């Protein structure tokens, strides 16, 4: 015997009456009610769970869609905030002659590596940042007096800032502490002055794998490092032979920091070009491995350098 339930709602009744219908011959229970227009409607007990399941799925997918949209928005907002965040450092001073007005960037994110989007007077271009005195503070410079330099025969001053940086290796001994590096610098100075009959050691600065920078001719003196370019460039030489390996991290960090120091001091232009000694002379200097490395650096000049003409 099947049982059905009927819901009768009497006008003015305070409750709902349910009763059995033993005369029902259906194989399933029926729920009978009245719509607002008085017409009867019935939903079988097998149809109701199906509709409920469909409703639950709709709600689930709607909630899932909302969650996905929220996640995407959060990621986008975070990315925009990250992209808009300025890079460290300050823009370099404006050049005296602005030249052609171009707008190659709008925010720092548009620029490669550590470059910043800077005003050029009538637009914005990517420039190497100025880090203030901190870059020079990162450099440990061993002065000529500290490493025991001989006096120069003559001194010829150089006009700065210069637009060219040349990288060398000494192709001699490696050194890993201040004592050994100081002795190596003195050996190189003696070689340059006694064997080559030069006025002083040829480079502007030398760098040891102890992470120190050794003052040679310094920022303001014409060197004897790169024939034909000595009066328009500064040269940094890492002590050792880098044909088969690159310098250690200490030496590479010191090289980058001393160059940034020169930028901040106004000794090197912000748009300088870097070359290896071999780019302008028939030599293997600065060694295959070191040369391959500097080729990947931001300021490396991939086209043949052109020496600036002297003003009349």
pLDDT band at 84 (very low <50, low <70, confident <90, very high): low
HEC profile for the chain? CCCCEEEECCCCCCCCEEEECCCCCCCCCEEEEECCCCCEEEEECCHHHHHHHHHHHHHHHHHHHHHHHHHHHHHHHHHHHHHHCCCCCECCCCCCCCCCCCECCCCHHHCCCCCEEEECCCCEEEECCECCHHHHHCCCEECHHHHCCCCCCCCCECCCCEEEEEEEECCCCCCCCHHHHHHHHHHHHHHHHHHCCCCCCCCCEEECCCCCEEECCCCCECCCCCCCCCCCEEEEEECCCCCCCCCCHHHHHHHHHHHHHHHHCCCEEEEEEEEEHHHCCCCCCCCHHHHHHHCCCCCECCCCCCCCCCCC
For each of the domains in the chain, give its residue range(s) and CATH number, in order of start. Answer: 89-130 (4.10.75.10), 141-295 (3.40.80.10)
How many residues appear in the chain?
312
Candidates 161, 261, 155, 160; CA nearest to 217 is 155
**Distance of alpha carbon 56 from alpha carbon 2, whole angstroms:** 30
Q: Model confidence over 98-118: pLDDT tens digits?
A: 555 667 788 888 887 777 888
Task: Look at residue 183 in the predicted model and tell me its pLDDT.
Answer: 98
Instruction: Express as a percent the part of the chain with pLDDT over 70.
Output: 74
Between 285 and 13, the higher pLDDT residue? 285
Cis peptide leading into residue 268 (ω within 30°): no
Query: Is the pLDDT reported for residue 152 higher than 60?
Result: yes
* Average pLDDT value for residue range 77-87: 60
Query: What's the chain's average pLDDT?
Result: 81
pLDDT band at 85 (very low <50, low <70, confident <90, very high): low
Please state the pTM of the whole predicted model: 0.60
> Buried b / exposed e across 246-262, counting CB within 10 Å, b at 16+?
bbbeebbebbebbbbbb
Q: Model confidence over 288-302: pLDDT tens digits?
A: 999 999 999 989 999
pLDDT band at 137 (very low <50, low <70, confident <90, very high): confident
* Average pLDDT value for residue range 153-169: 96
Between 213 and 40, the higher pLDDT residue? 213
């Amino acid at each position: 015997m099947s049982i059905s339930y009927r819901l009768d709602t009497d006008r003015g009744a305070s409750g709902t009456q349910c009763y059995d219908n033993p005369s029902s011959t259906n194989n399933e229970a029926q729920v009978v009610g009245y719509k607002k227009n008085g017409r009867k409607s019935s939903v079988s007990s097998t149809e109701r769970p199906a509709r409920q399941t469909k409703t639950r799925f709709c709600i689930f997918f709607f909630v899932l869609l909302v969650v996905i949209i929220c996640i995407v928005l959060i990621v986008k907002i975070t990315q925009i905030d990250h992209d808009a965040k300025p890079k460290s450092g300050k823009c370099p001073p404006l050049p005296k002659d602005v030249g052609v007005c171009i707008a190659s960037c709008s925010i720092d994110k548009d620029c490669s590596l550590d470059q910043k989007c800077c005003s050029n007077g009538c637009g914005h271009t990517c420039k190497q940042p100025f880090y203030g005195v901190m870059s020079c503070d990162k450099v440990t410079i061993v002065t000529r007096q500290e490493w025991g330099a001989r006096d120069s025969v003559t001194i010829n001053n150089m006009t700065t800032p210069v637009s060219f940086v040349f990288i060398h290796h000494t192709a001699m001994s490696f050194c890993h502490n201040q004592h050994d590096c100081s002795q190596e610098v003195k050996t190189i100075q003696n070689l340059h002055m006694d064997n080559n009959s030069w006025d002083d050691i040829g480079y502007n600065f030398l760098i040891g794998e102890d992470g120190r920078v050794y003052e040679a001719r310094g920022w303001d003196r014409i060197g004897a490092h790169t024939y034909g370019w000595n009066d328009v460039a500064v040269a940094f030489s890492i002590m050792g032979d880098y044909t088969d390996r690159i310098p250690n991290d200490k030496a590479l960090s010191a090289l980058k920091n001393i160059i940034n120091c020169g930028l901040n001091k106004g000794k090197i232009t912000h748009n300088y070009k870097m070359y290896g000694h071999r780019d302008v002379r028939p030599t293997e200097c600065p060694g295959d491995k070191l040369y391959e490395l500097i080729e990947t650096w931001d300021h490396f000049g991939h086209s043949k350098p052109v020496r600036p003409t002297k003003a009349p």
